[in-house]
């Protein structure tokens, strides 16, 4: 070996300084590598291609990369189920059932996100590879958060997740709102990151390590002298996570960012940020700080209650669908917190299940919103949805399924997701929390159904619903609602019953509905705006594929829930 080569060899340099390079198990980080490698490939292609490639090319490639990483994740899942969990890369990465489920989830989000973005970017004539590259980086960050076994790595994952999202929020430079959203998201996100890092520093100071497993065993074996520092660190970590998942009072960026960002990016960031942050939160709390349960459970209890209530209450008064869905996503975060707060493996399982369900629902819902928003991505008032079912029955039907699932209607995955987190909460004796959750579900049903009513309501001078014989006017409001959804009120399930009751109460009292004429009035209330021209509602085949996947999973797994439930169960068995 020539002296020069020896000098340049990093191994030699490091060995000379007594450093040992860790062994890197590349299979353990294969999904992340696939996403990042694919991202580089995309950037390379776009750099060398002589002219702008159509956005569909990038969408196809992104979906392909997502599928590849999905396969890699499933291989890891298989390995873990067979050979048990293992640590890799100097114990910084933990591959267990939980981590692999997060990997699978992120891969699915990448695939779906590519579908919904393609149609949107084409319509808005946004060319280039940036959106897809950012999405891939962001998803790899979420993956890292899910499998990280070191607080520093969690922080890195958090930033890899967040920084592309800041850019995605501001990607639509023609709209001032997009820039504002990016600025708000960035400032507040960086602020919360700083808080998070400070939390890591304090935790490190109190326990002497940033490795999650080491901290956990340290806490199990020692009495911490500087308890205040440790608890302060934990509190700041919770704040960082709380910001990412949009828990009240750290939620305030959410409505503005969701309202301002390009619509498909909203669905993507809502899904991927929640997966990453909740993945890391669950791991940190359950495997590292179980000994401090008495300290973090009350905090999460309060956060969950505030999040559930504020999300539902403020969503009721929104007239902008994107803002409404933003508050609804805050409400959903509260539900997921329910499972975390329970502090049991059942709770973790319920939270994971909820994450999967929520990701699919939110991506699909925002996919439809992106279509309805029309050219320019500005038409998000609820009046745009009036009579949508008559013009676009399939689109409105898909949206209705997704919204009903978000409301927790039976025979959708949304029903089980709410059921399981509430069950976990009750099993953990958090009765008050479970009650609040059910109440908030009842309130939330109102604004979901309001949108459904707007879509399916009668348009002036037109025949009633196309698919269902609607009883003529004069059917009372309760009869109308009960007649439309007979199974909702009759199934013996808490959320559904609470929802049905809640709708009737709120419908009337929110002043939107005259007792006599439920749908008509709900729609009349939304009569203000202009009706969208049909030509403006171009649905690209990509969106159809994505919607078919979302609606299909929601309904099929809602009727036949065992596969996904078992998946989540196996993922958390290993805690």
By CB under 8 A, what part of segment 487-526 binds another protein? 487, 490, 492, 505-506, 508-511
Q: Kindly tell me which of 59 and 230 has the beta carbon lying closer to another protein.
A: 230
Count of residues that bind another protein according to CB under 8 A: 96
Q: What is the dihedral of CA 144, 415, 385, 549, to 10 degrees?
A: 50
Binding-site member from 443, 451, 521, 532 for another protein (CB under 8 A): 443
Q: Which stretch binds another protein (CB under 8 A): 45-53, 226-234, 269-277, 360-368?
A: 226-234
Q: Kindly tell me which of 53 and 426 has the beta carbon lying closer to another protein.
A: 426
Two tokens, residue 549: 């996947």
CB of 141 to another protein, least distance (A): 11
Q: Which residues of 234-244 are buried (b: 16+ CB within 10 A; e: fewer)?
A: bebbbbbbbbb
Cα separation, 507 vs 502, whole angstroms: 8
Q: Which stretch binds another protein (CB under 8 A): 41-49, 370-378, 480-488, 539-547?
A: 480-488
Binding-site member from 37, 71, 198, 536 for another protein (CB under 8 A): 198
List all residues 6 or more positions away from 483 whose beta carbon is below 8 Å from its beta carbon.
471, 475
Binding mask 158-197 for another protein (x = CB under 8 A): -x---x--xx--x--x--xx-xxxxxx-xxx-xxxxxx-x
Asked if residue 554 lies in contact with residue 361, where contact means CB atoms within 8 angstroms, the answer is: yes
Alpha-helix runs per DSSP H in 317-344: 321-342
CB of 72 to another protein, least distance (A): 25
CB of 54 to another protein, least distance (A): 26
Interface positions, 546-565, toward another protein (CB under 8 A): 559-562
Q: Which stretch binds another protein (CB under 8 A): 50-58, 78-86, 254-262, 264-272?
A: 254-262
Two tokens, residue 382: 């609820």
Instruction: Please give the C-alpha separations between residue 308 and each of 149, 427, 498, in angstroms, as whole numbers.
Output: 30, 19, 15
The H-or-E segment that residue 93 falls in is: strand 93-95
CB of 441 to another protein, least distance (A): 13
CB of 288 to another protein, least distance (A): 16
Total residues found in the chain within this entry:
575
Two tokens, residue 470: 């609607």
The H-or-E segment that residue 87 falls in is: strand 86-88
Interface positions, 389-428, toward another protein (CB under 8 A): 394, 416, 419, 423
Q: Does residue 479 touch another protein according to CB under 8 A?
A: yes
Cα separation, 168 vs 147, whole angstroms: 24
Pick from 189, 146, 469: nearest CA to 282: 146
Strands 93-95 and 86-88: antiparallel
> What residues form DSSP beta bridges with 87?
94
Q: Does residue 89 touch another protein according to CB under 8 A?
A: no
Binding mask 283-302 for another protein (x = CB under 8 A): -----------xx--xx---
Interface positions, 27-86, toward another protein (CB under 8 A): none
Q: Kindly tell me which of 73 and 329 has the beta carbon lying closer to another protein.
A: 329
CB of 314 to another protein, least distance (A): 5
- Return the residue matching tokens 């919607």: 547
Pick from 416, 399, 569, 403: nearest CA to 491: 416
Interface positions, 457-476, toward another protein (CB under 8 A): 464, 468-472, 475
Binding mask 308-347 for another protein (x = CB under 8 A): --x--xxxxxx----x------------------------
Interface positions, 231-250, toward another protein (CB under 8 A): 231-232, 234-236, 238-239, 242-243, 249-250
Two tokens, residue 33: 């590598």
Asked if residue 365 lies in contact with residue 406, where contact means CB atoms within 8 angstroms, the answer is: yes
Q: What is the dihedral of CA 405, 409, 414, 415, to 10 degrees?
A: -170
Binding-site member from 155, 286, 385, 542 for another protein (CB under 8 A): 155
Maximum Cα–Cα distance across the chain: 94
Interface positions, 357-396, toward another protein (CB under 8 A): 394
Two tokens, residue 417: 């997701």
Q: Kindly tell me which of 66 and 502 has the beta carbon lying closer to another protein.
A: 502
């Amino acid at each position: 070996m020539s002296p020069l080569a020896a000098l340049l060899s990093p191994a030699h340099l490091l060995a000379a300084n007594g450093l040992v390079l860790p062994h890197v198990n590349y299979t353990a980080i294969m999904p992340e590598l696939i996403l990042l490698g694919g991202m580089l490939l995309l950037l390379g292609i776009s750099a060398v291609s002589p002219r702008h490639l159509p956005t569909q090319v990038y969408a196809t490639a992104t979906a392909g990369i997502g599928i590849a990483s999905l396969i890699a994740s499933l291989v890891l899942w298989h390995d873990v189920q067979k050979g048990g969990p293992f640590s890799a890369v100097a114990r910084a990465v933990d591959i267990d059932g939980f981590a692999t489920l997060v990997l699978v989830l992120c891969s699915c989000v990448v695939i779906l996100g590519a579908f919904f973005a393609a149609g949107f970017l084409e319509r808005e004539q946004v060319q280039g590879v940036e959106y897809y590259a950012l999405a891939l980086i962001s998803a790899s960050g979420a993956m890292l958060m899910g499998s990280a076994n070191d607080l520093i790595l969690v922080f890195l994952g958090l930033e890899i997740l967040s920084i592309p999202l800041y850019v995605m929020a501001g990607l639509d430079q023609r709209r001032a709102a997009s820039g504002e959203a990016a600025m708000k998201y960035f400032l507040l996100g960086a602020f919360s990151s700083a808080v998070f890092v400070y939390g890591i520093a304090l935790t490190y100071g109190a326990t002497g390590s940033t490795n999650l497993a080491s901290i956990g065993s340290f806490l199990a074996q020692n009495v911490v002298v500087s308890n205040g520092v440790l608890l302060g660190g934990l509190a700041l970590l919770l704040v960082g996570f709380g910001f990412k998942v949009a828990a009240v009072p750290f939620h305030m960026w959410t409505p503005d960012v969701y309202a301002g960002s390009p619509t498909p990016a909203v669905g993507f960031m809502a899904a991927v940020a929640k997966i990453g942050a909740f993945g890391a939160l669950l791991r940190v709390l359950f495997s590292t700080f179980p000994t401090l349960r008495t300290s973090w459970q009350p905090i999460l209890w309060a956060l969950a209650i505030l999040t559930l209530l504020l999300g539902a209450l403020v969503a009721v008064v929104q007239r902008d669908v994107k803002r409404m869905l933003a508050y609804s996503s805050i409400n959903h975060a509260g539900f997921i917190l329910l499972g975390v707060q329970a502090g049991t493996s059942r709770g973790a399982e319920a939270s994971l299940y909820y994450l999967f369900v929520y990701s699919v629902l939110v991506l699909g819902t925002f996919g439809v919103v992106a279509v309805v928003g029309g050219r320019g991505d500005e038409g998000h008032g609820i009046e745009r949805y009036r009579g949508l079912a008559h013009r676009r029955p399939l689109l409105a039907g898909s949206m209705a399924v997704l919204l009903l699932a978000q409301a927790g209607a039976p025979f959708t995955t949304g029903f089980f997701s709410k059921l399981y987190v509430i069950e976990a909460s009750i099993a953990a004796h958090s009765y008050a929390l479970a009650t609040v959750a059910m109440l908030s579900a009842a309130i939330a049903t109102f604004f979901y159904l309001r949108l459904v009513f707007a879509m399916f309501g009668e348009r002036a001078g037109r025949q009633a619903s196309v698919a269902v014989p609607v009883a003529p006017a004069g059917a009372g409001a309760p009869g109308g609602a009960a007649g439309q959804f007979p199974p909702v009120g009759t199934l013996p399930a808490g959320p559904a019953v609470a929802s049905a009751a809640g709708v009737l109460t709120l419908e009337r009292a929110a002043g939107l509905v005259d007792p006599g004429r439920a749908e008509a009035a709900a729609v009349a209330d939304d009569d203000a705006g202009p009706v969208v021209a049909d030509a403006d509602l171009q649905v690209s085949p990509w969106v159809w594929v994505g919607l078919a996947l979302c609606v299909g999973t929601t309904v099929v797994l809602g009727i036949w829930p065992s596969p996904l439930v078992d998946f989540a169960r196996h993922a958390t068995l290993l805690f």
